[in-house]
């Protein structure tokens, strides 16, 4: 390993005492490859096993915490106890490679396809449709207070299942336009009760989910268990979440006793757009607000060893590798062995078998031009 990359491979101790062996995490990516009943497939296990060998932690694809929260076909399920053996199979496959296994848990809210949820009942904080491809025209049903409380409880139950299955932690998915983000968003949340209105009230649901998850950990985990939280810094909609809003949220989250925060970005060096200094990167603003109170995971189009080394200089504690590990599952090992020049940065379109992709995931990534470099 070259000295310039040494910082990437340093271990890090999370606030709860768990040590991550290096600063690389596999970022969560939906892979559409579980069985219709939510159990993981052998192909999915092989895909994760291959990519868990170098990174310090693997954050899985989203797992739905209720039947009505499903966001994709082929999604991992954690909404009932019958799925615990399947979840254990996934956790064990990751942990055997030396990586920490973190299950990402979520509810899709108004982003749920109507054909993926019981009776086509798409729900959200308010009956405001999403303005995003795939959901246009779907008017969600406004959740009742009782239903909201049931969903909060379901996050706790999903955490208990993750603990029983042997995961090292969970990541609460509060990003990418899904239900937790919807409650924080002035676009999706037009409620006038305790869950909506002011920015403080729009934080009520995300904070209640965190409290419930942390309570489940305190009650059921017999050893330290990771709780992370992922968020998106801004929304394109008007009204929508601004960078100023997110900095207020992150200031609160940094004192919640979480083990890490994880910002969802397409491009690591992107700059703020609204209600913040637009000459500065979002990462810079977030680090300033967090002020070392909680580790931050950064992500976004960092393909080479030099890309990641430069990102680490900002002061972030971890880098999430997403598309990079799709393209080159041995990304970390090549740095360890001093062969970083051999890292592949474009997808081999003839490499499905060699790269260990499940069929459904391969079909998706090779049909979306520009999402993964090499796919035109």
Torsion sign (Cα): 106, 108, 113, 117? positive
pLDDT recorded at residue 1: 81
Beta bridge partners of 298: 319
Euclidean distance between CA atoms 61 and 221, whole angstroms: 22
Write down the pTM of the prediction: 0.98
Residue ranges of E strands in 278-326: 296-299, 318-321
Pick the CATH number of 3-365 from 2.60.40.10, 3.40.50.300, 3.20.20.70, 3.40.50.800: 3.20.20.70
User: What angle do helix axes 84-95 and 42-51 make, rounded to 10 degrees?
Assistant: 30
- Copy the structure tokens of residue 120: 């086509």
Task: Look at residue 160 and tell me whether its pLDDT is greater than 80.
Answer: yes
| Domain range summary for the chain, segments of one domain joined by + | 3-365
- Copy the structure tokens of residue 365: 């990534």
Q: What is the pLDDT of residues 14-69, one digit of tens each?
A: 999 999 999 999 999 999 999 999 999 999 999 999 999 999 999 999 999 999 99
Average pLDDT over residues 93-120: 97
Residue ranges of E strands in 18-111: 19-20, 24-26, 57-64, 76-77, 100-106
pLDDT recorded at residue 134: 63
If pLDDT is split at 50, 70 and 90, which confidence band does 132 have?
confident
Return the closest-CA partner of residue 214 out of 4, 6, 5, 15: 15
The single residue of 47, 48, 178, 303 carrying the catalytic annotation is: 178
Range from 133-147, 156-170, 237-251 carrying the lowest mean pLDDT: 133-147
Q: Is 303 a catalytic residue?
A: no
Q: What is the pLDDT of residues 319-343, one digit of tens each?
A: 999 999 999 999 999 999 999 999 9
If pLDDT is split at 50, 70 and 90, which confidence band does 263 have?
very high
Euclidean distance between CA atoms 328 and 305, whole angstroms: 12
Question: Between the CA of residue 335 and those of 137, 216, 330, what are the distances in Å?
Answer: 47, 38, 9
pLDDT recorded at residue 376: 83
Q: Tell me the average pLDDT of the chain.
A: 97
Residues 6 or more apart in contact with residue 87 via CB below 8 angstroms: 40, 63, 76, 78, 103, 161, 162, 165, 167
Euclidean distance between CA atoms 312 and 48, whole angstroms: 25
Average pLDDT over residues 123-147: 89
Q: What is the pLDDT of residues 180-205, one digit of tens each?
A: 999 999 999 999 999 999 999 999 99
């Amino acid at each position: 390993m070259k000295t310039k990359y040494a910082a990437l491979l340093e271990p890090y101790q999370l606030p709860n005492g768990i040590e991550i062996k290096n600063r690389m995490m596999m970022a969560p990516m939906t892979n559409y490859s579980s069985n219709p009943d939510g159990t993981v497939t052998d192909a999915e296990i092989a895909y994760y096993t291959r990519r868990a060998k170098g990174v310090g932690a693997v954050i899985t694809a989203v797992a739905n915490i209720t039947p009505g929260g499903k966001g994709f076909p082929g999604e991992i399920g954690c909404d009932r106890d019958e799925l615990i053996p399947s979840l254990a199979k996934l956790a064990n496959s990751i942990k055997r490679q030396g990586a920490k296994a973190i299950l990402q848990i979520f509810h899709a809210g108004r982003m749920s396809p109507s054909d993926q949820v019981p009776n086509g009942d798409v729900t959200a904080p308010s009956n405001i449709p999403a303005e995003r491809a795939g959901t246009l025209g779907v008017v969600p049903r406004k959740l009742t207070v009782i239903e909201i409380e049931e969903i909060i409880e379901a996050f706790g139950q999903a955490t208990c299942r993750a603990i029983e299955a042997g995961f090292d932690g969970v990541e609460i998915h509060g990003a990418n336009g899904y239900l937790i983000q919807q409650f924080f968003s002035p676009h999706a949340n037009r409620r006038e009760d305790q869950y909506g209105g002011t920015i403080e009230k729009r934080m009520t649901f995300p904070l209640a989910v965190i409290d419930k998850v942390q309570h489940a950990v305190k009650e059921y985990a017999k050893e330290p268990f990771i709780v992370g939280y992922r968020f998106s810094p801004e929304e394109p909609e008007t009204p929508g979440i601004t960078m100023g809003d997110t900095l207020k949220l992150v200031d609160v989250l940094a004192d919640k006793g979480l083990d890490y925060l994880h910002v969802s970005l397409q491009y690591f060096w992107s700059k703020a757009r609204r209600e913040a200094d637009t000459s500065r990167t979002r990462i810079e603003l977030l680090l300033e607000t967090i002020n070392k109170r909680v580790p931050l995971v950064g992500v976004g189009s960092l393909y080479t060893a030099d890309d990641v080394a430069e990102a680490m200089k900002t002061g972030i504690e971890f880098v999430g590798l997403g598309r990079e590990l799709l393209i080159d599952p041995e990304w970390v090992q090549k740095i360890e062995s001093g062969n970083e020049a051999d890292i592949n940065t474009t997808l081999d379109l003839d490499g499905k078998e060699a790269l260990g992709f499940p069929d459904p995931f391969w079909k998706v990534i090779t049909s979306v031009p520009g999402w993964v470099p090499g796919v035109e």
